[in-house]
Amino acid sequence: MSTKSSTGIIEKKVLIQAAPEVIFRALTDAKNIAHWFCDRVTSDPRVGGELRAYWRMGSSGQAQRGRAVYTKLTPDSQVELQWLDDGAGETQSADRHILRYTIRLKRGTSEVTVRDEGPPLADDETYELLDQGWIGVLRDLKEHCEARQRSARHRLRAE
């Protein structure tokens, strides 16, 4: 097993042209989450609150569900979730993974880091699949947040 898959950690960064509060809402508000992450979601953004996500998979339309608990929330700065069920069924506590989004202002923009910490991955192929998946998720988050930021600017100009 290589270092990549044996650590069970995937970390990615993206620059988003949006205010930290726009990004924080996108990570915690159910209506926002449904625009960039999944098909349906419920979210209770408080420490101990749950996030439940539902996805339709491919052309079959088969549903997948996930459930996480918010473990840390720092407004406009950090969102941390512990995934209890990532779609494959409830996991044992040793197999659960932590997902942490950190938002930092950097040179007039927001840098978002996602860190997915879980048990060691089966192999490098699994690592690459998840790694590419996170690239897509962050691209969708970026597009959503930047569109929300542009929309907010247009509303302010119209007033």
Summarize pLDDT for 17-60 with one digit per residue, the tens.
999 999 999 999 999 999 999 999 999 999 999 999 998 876 66
Tell me: pLDDT of 154 over 90. Answer: no
**Assigned architecture for domain 3-158:** 2-Layer Sandwich (3.30)
Q: Is 141 exposed, middle or buried (0-12, 13-18, 19+ CB in 10 A)?
A: buried
At residue 119, the pLDDT reads 81
Residue 44 confidence (pLDDT): 98
Number of alpha carbons in the 13 Å side-chain half-sphere of residue 144: 21
pTM: 0.85
pLDDT for 116-128, tens place per residue? 998 877 788 888 8
Q: How sure is the predictor about 112, in pLDDT bands with cuts at 50, 70 and 90?
A: very high
